[in-house]
Structure 1
Amino acid sequence: MPQTPLLSVVVAVYNGELFLAKFFACLEAQAIEGMEVIMVNDGSTDGSMAIIDAWRDRFPGMLVIEQENQGVSVARNTGLAVATGQYLSFPDIDDDFKPGMYRRLLDLALASNLDVVTCNGNYVYENNRKPSRPIFPEDKLQSTGVMSGPAWLKKALDSRKFLHVTWLNLYRHDFIREHGFKFEPGLRHQDIPWTTEVLLAAQRVQYTNERFYDYYIHSASVSHKPDTDDTLIRSARHYIKILEMLEAINQRYPEQVKNIPACNWQIAKEGLGILHTFNNMKDPQKKKMIVKEFFDRGIWRLIWKNARGFRLRWRLGRRYLKLKKATRVPG
């Protein structure tokens, strides 16, 4: 009977030919015996499949799944559905992760039967146009012992420097399976609701501030292209959906959330981001349309309800009249 792999690495691939060779080299350098590698080719139209095929021999039992392009969430869910490992990881193909990352995280996870184990990383800028810096500043978040997921989420959100990402973490597969957690299809920044709910449900979490992962900020990234009114509208709709999901999550975990005021704060904070998106729009008619949708879906009420403290409400209140004015544009 085949032994259960310690780790399943679930990888979404879409037009990744520029990054895949480096990604596979990072994966090989982890030197985890019996690691299960699941590559989900999400409708790539470039040479990604040829590169994946060229590396198959280096990863015995690599599972390659091809599907029509449906986005990173569906690709991750596809891989998650067939994964058999004790722990799961979801790295991005255009980043670097250091030798020893997965071994170190697995050692922590196995020693304490963790639901989630997480580490630190670096922001690294293309062509070194800015100095690299830690994702979580070490004066704000230091290594922890084993703690509950809600306690870690509170600590992390209270730092105001927390980044909702999957790729710094390993997840205990049975924990993910028991709760039926999946990524939200078609949603950009789906890591925000995923991470929030996973941590609210987790009982055993540990963080090490060792920096194992380089997150590259580069011009080929979708999230760093110049915006148009249409891309701003799409972004606003993604964040509106995220706020609705965060509110539903808060209602599913009332006992945990009542001790974490930052669960309300993050709804208000992401809401301010939506208002900033509206400010950057040029076409008054398009702006009127999306602002009306924002009010009609009850998002203003949701943000206001979750804004705690005078300063946050003052910042929102200043924008309210401008928003209402935008909905009165003729036409």
Structure 2
Amino acid sequence: MPQNSRPLLSVVAAVYNGELFLAKFFACLAAQNIDNMEVIMVNDGSTDGSMAIIEAWRSKFPGMKIIEQENQGVSIARNTGLAVATGQYLSFPDIDDDFKPGMYRHLLDLALKNNLDVVTCNGNYVYESNKKPTRPIFPQDKLQSTDVLSGPQWLKRALDSRKFLHVTWLNLYRHDFIREHGFTFEPGLRHQDIPWTTEILLAAERVQYTDEQYYDYYIHSASVSHKPDTDDTLIRSARHYMKILEMLDAINQRYPDAVKNIPACNWQIAKEGLGILHTFNNMKDPHKKKMIIQEFFDRGIWRLIWKNARGFRLRWRLGRRYLKLKKATRVPG
């Protein structure tokens, strides 16, 4: 498709039982005031009234693409939308969040002016019923607006802040860049934003960040990621993070020249690994704990974490947990 006939932006949104949020989501889209915007709604097997709401908004967004599929999770839904997108830039907002008027216009202006592969902004954590005060996602004393950087330069700066959150929804991506590298979302993986963002930034040549807070990430009781855990959900979470660590290790090996200048690429593997150990600590059933910790060792995840740990303090934190882990694998039965 010729460049001048392509939409400036394709917005790809995965929908699963989103009837409580879709009206606000579409209102946010309409407030962007971008005429040349392609909206792609992927209904991922919703069983509520989501489709009726999507259809009701169709007339407000000429050419809206609506795709229905069986429930397969957000990654496959995003891949479905990505496969049919035609815009020069891509965005992947979550439908239960709030993005401010002008967000996409401002990010597009930066992206087009500077031929960016990735452009990103700041946002806020907003808590249901104001249970906690709203706060920036990236503290502005840690990460300020930048000029154009290489992806690895921005990744180093972001990870070194120790306050960087791997997310898709604060970013716009140049579509041709995504296509040239064949990037897709990992099916069935929770928190797949971590490997996605890491690899994209290692590959990107031109990235810019603005500390303008355009996006409200809404933390609410209906969110799957904020429901109370059981042993079984903790086991699933541990397996997701084991996969993430394996993916991050493979990514580091694919980009050795960039990674050797970003020690935090190793640090984040060790840091996420500590999160897995914390997950084990929260499990109640000793036999289920024994099973998942044995899997943790058998898959080589402990070795992977230890290999990537840098510095005495981090290795000390890991080492003092090792004996507890081994003890848990010796539970009888």
Which TM-score band applies after superposition, normalised by the shorter structure? Answer: over 0.9
- Equivalent runs, 1:1-331 vs 2, <5 Å: 3-331=5-333
Alpha-carbon offset, residue 168 of structure 1: 0.2
Q: Which amino acid aligns with 1:250?
A: N
Alpha-carbon offset, residue 3 of structure 1: 1.7
SS in 1 for 2:319: helix
What is the alpha-carbon distance in structure 2 between the residues aligned to residue 299 and residue 190 of structure 1? 18
Alpha-carbon offset, residue 97 of structure 1: 0.1
Q: Which amino acid aligns with 1:119?
A: C
Alpha-carbon offset, residue 33 of structure 1: 1.0
Write out per-residue CA displacement over residues 230-282 of structure 1, whole angstroms, 9 at most, x where no aligned residue. Answer: 00000000000000000000000000000000000000000000000000000
Q: Which amino acid aligns with 1:40?
A: V
Write out per-residue CA displacement over residues 123-165 of structure 1, whole angstroms, 9 at most, x where no aligned residue. Answer: 0000011110000000000000000000000000000000000
Aligned structure 1 segments of 4 or more residues deviating by more than 6 angstroms = none
What is the alpha-carbon distance in structure 1 between the residues aligned to residue 72 and residue 264 of structure 2? 32
Alpha-carbon offset, residue 34 of structure 1: 1.7
SS in 2 for 1:233: helix
What is the alpha-carbon distance in structure 1 between the residues aligned to residue 17 and residue 166 of structure 2? 24
Q: Which amino acid aligns with 1:113?
A: N
SS in 2 for 1:270: helix
SS in 2 for 1:231: helix
- How many residue pairs end up in the alignment? 331
For the aligned residues, what is the CA RMSD?
A: 0.7
What is the alpha-carbon distance in structure 1 between the residues aligned to residue 36 and residue 150 of structure 2? 30
What is the alpha-carbon distance in structure 2 between the residues aligned to residue 45 and residue 129 of structure 1? 30
What is the alpha-carbon distance in structure 2 between the residues aligned to residue 253 and residue 213 of structure 1? 31
SS in 2 for 1:259: coil
Alpha-carbon offset, residue 228 of structure 1: 0.2
What is the alpha-carbon distance in structure 2 between the residues aligned to residue 221 and residue 14 of structure 1? 11
What is the alpha-carbon distance in structure 2 between the residues aligned to residue 56 and residue 3 of structure 1? 21
Give aligned-pair identity as a percent.
Answer: 88
Give unpaired runs (5+ residues) of structure 1. none
Give unpaired runs (5+ residues) of structure 2. none
